[in-house]
Homo-oligomer: A and B are copies of this chain.
């Protein structure tokens, strides 16, 4: 029973773990897996090697791991590590009874998982959600219910005040709630970061806490946080269009005031100061031209207030025609990756429809999706990479010439011609990171390019893929913000808020940009940047690339893929267990997801299904996705799981 054991631990009279009894007086030392780089197995080895007694297991580390919870427990045991804490529960308490009931169900499922890990303590942090409960008694009562269930599984619950909790943001308040709950399996978790950076910052009363109820202590230091905004301002500013402030609205106000003086960029950013000045200055000019344009376009009323209209330089950049869809995607492949890529495309239901007369260029089509495998190698720098690489893409619109004119006006470099497939085609521009972008007329999208002849191969049966849903690719960390600016300003895609995740390859930042006005089916890009950790591997220097195709019925597609022998990336059971625990999926759906290695995500607008291949040439994964309702993301919550799996299963070639 939880409580008895807890008492034993807290009075320091020795504690039994999987690894035996600690001597009285010695401290049990624990390292959170979140501190460490790499895959979970590497983290555990490093913690054990440095002499730690246990770990705090961070949920994303488990979800990305191929080991079932029992195997994680056994792995830890073999390394002499206890699993001292599992922390899966955020936003537990709620003013909304229905939501609380769902949270309790979720918590119960996570309690079972915690027990399977051989861990006796579940961490619950104070809620940050808008529906967080406010009154001490209500929160205490809800935590009491959780503690009672946890105690039934031999567990205890440690409650921690986040410094940014909505209503509970000091340890004093959390302790008040723990006392009010009055359940022996409910205690306090203290974290030095939260205690020392909370509103009060006062730790002097901690000594009066009943040690029987102080379940866990976490230690972390930090630079002085008082000057948050100042530090933000001095290190993390971005060029207009790269961040989330309404700079165009601000500028429109100044314009409306009649201001005609200099527009000056003042952007303190450490990453910029490590890069190329020439490149940064060009990005800066692009930003300034585009923000002036956006201020005029987005707020013509305000600009008109000044009584001058467009002729006073308001519109200095041609308008961006709306991108309608993805045209052809070009993958450069070497002699090893090329045949494998062709085989995988066929297994995905793509027919090889045309080939270049003289060059090793092969076109594959399914529905409106088009992929060109370019085996010409050795040409422009992007082609020289070994394996496979996403090197070029097309955006279709009604006015490709205007799109190119806008790109030129915004200082996008025009690609040198000379690639065999470029003959007779419109010019491409080079996006940050090196991807070539061509603007093609919608009317022209299905035309066979010059120099191509129909392939002699017969068609293969479709797997139900209808179009290219999105492209995803990683950028060097110092070009990520430049890429956001490029895609936002040149074709006029709209950025969604950035996402962040911890992956075995390093911390990952993601940002989706999508064409406005076309809903879920429009043009979409998923940019990523990984701050490289030791697990990043050498084949994918900045992370992975993906080409995602849309299906209207992912399970039917999955069956077709299985029949055709398509390689599918295995999904850790922990991902599906987590979906069940979090979302309470219907059993039929849950088992279909598991059977077909389909990842799933849901938000308030809709749902998203996703199936991946291992990485061609260690770099490019082909994906099948299905959108339900108005879901507009690209599965950012799944990216850590996918990244871990891509690293684990290595190159497909």
Q: List A residues at the B interface (Cβ < 8 Å).
A: 9-12, 25-32, 34-38, 42-43, 45-47, 49-54, 56, 84-85, 163-164, 190-197, 203-211, 214-225, 227-230, 232-247, 249-251, 253-254, 256-270, 272-278, 280-282, 284-285, 288, 291-292, 302, 305, 311-313, 316, 411, 497-498, 500, 502, 506-507, 531-534
B10 touches A259 (CB 8 A): yes
A270 touches B531 (CB 8 A): yes
B221 touches A240 (CB 8 A): yes
B260 touches A12 (CB 8 A): yes
- Complex CA gap A224/B210 in Å reads 40
B222 touches A257 (CB 8 A): no
Residues of the B chain whose Cβ atoms lie less than 8 Å from the Cβ of A208: 257
A277 touches B36 (CB 8 A): yes
- Complex CA gap A39/B242 in Å reads 25
- Contact with A259, one of B36, B214, B223, B263 (Cβ below 8 angstroms): B214
Closest to A269 in B: B35
- Complex CA gap A216/B237 in Å reads 19
B211 touches A257 (CB 8 A): yes
- Complex CA gap A190/B264 in Å reads 10
- Contact with A215, one of B49, B164, B261 (Cβ below 8 angstroms): B261
- Complex CA gap A242/B35 in Å reads 14
A203 touches B249 (CB 8 A): yes
- 13 A-B residue pairs with Cβ-Cβ distance under 8 Å, sorted by A, are A11-B260, A12-B260, A28-B263, A29-B285, A34-B268, A207-B302, A209-B257, A219-B250, A219-B288, A220-B238, A220-B239, A274-B507, A274-B532
**Beyond known contacts A10-B260, A11-B260: 15 more, CB 8 A cutoff:** A9-B261, A10-B258, A10-B259, A26-B313, A27-B292, A32-B264, A36-B273, A46-B277, A50-B282, A193-B266, A197-B232, A206-B256, A217-B263, A219-B291, A222-B232
Closest to A6 in B: B261
Centre residue among A191, A193, A211, A273 by max chain B CB count within 10 A: A273
B260 touches A211 (CB 8 A): yes
Residues of the B chain whose Cβ atoms lie less than 8 Å from the Cβ of A261: 9-10, 28, 214-217
- Contact with A49, one of B190, B247, B281, B531 (Cβ below 8 angstroms): B281
Residues of the B chain whose Cβ atoms lie less than 8 Å from the Cβ of A302: 207
Residues of the B chain whose Cβ atoms lie less than 8 Å from the Cβ of A219: 240, 247, 250-251, 263-266, 288, 291
- Complex CA gap A240/B220 in Å reads 5
- Complex CA gap A224/B261 in Å reads 28
A52 touches B250 (CB 8 A): no
